[in-house]
Amino acid sequence: MPGYRTHLMGGFTAYVIVLYLLKSLKPTPFTMLEWLACALVGALFPDVDTKSKGQLWFYRFLFLVLLVLALHRCFLIAALISIVCILPMLVQHRGLFHRPLFLIGVPMLGVVIVNIYAPACARLFFFDALFFVVGAMSHILLDRGVRAFV
């Protein structure tokens, strides 16, 4: 079972491969840094359902998000996010958060929702979601091995 450093290296490696494939888009350095962050978050995300570095960073990030939402008085959104945050505590490790369909489907559903409600941000969100998925799939590959995808 690889540790968080191995998963971060796997996420970084997957990021470099996909970035090379998308070089024709000529992303800015800031965009490349954003995509790297998404890939690294994705690489740690599947372990959010167990005591891990991924879980620690996930809940730290969510704390900041909820704090910002509270400061902006967006209590309904904060409440919905809080309910979703309980999900990792309700599932078993290597269950839902280690299923490729879930790890691909949820971000892509997010892309569809953003495309409907904020079409100007859809392209940006698509690539962020793509790199998140790439990082998450690197995690699954490292946990299960390449045989899981063959």
User: 50 vs 93, which has greater pLDDT?
Assistant: 50
- pTM for the whole thing? 0.82
User: 26 vs 87, which has greater pLDDT?
Assistant: 26
User: Which amino acid belongs to residue 130?
Assistant: L
The residue length of the chain stands at 150
pLDDT at 148 over 60: no
Cα–Cα dist 133/104, whole Å = 6
pLDDT band at 110 (very low <50, low <70, confident <90, very high): confident
User: Which amino acid belongs to residue 4?
Assistant: Y
pLDDT at 150 over 50: no
Per-residue tokens: 130:
């793509």
pLDDT at 149 over 70: no
H-state helical runs in 22-74: 29-44, 53-71
Count CA atoms within 13 Å of residue 141 on its CB side: 19
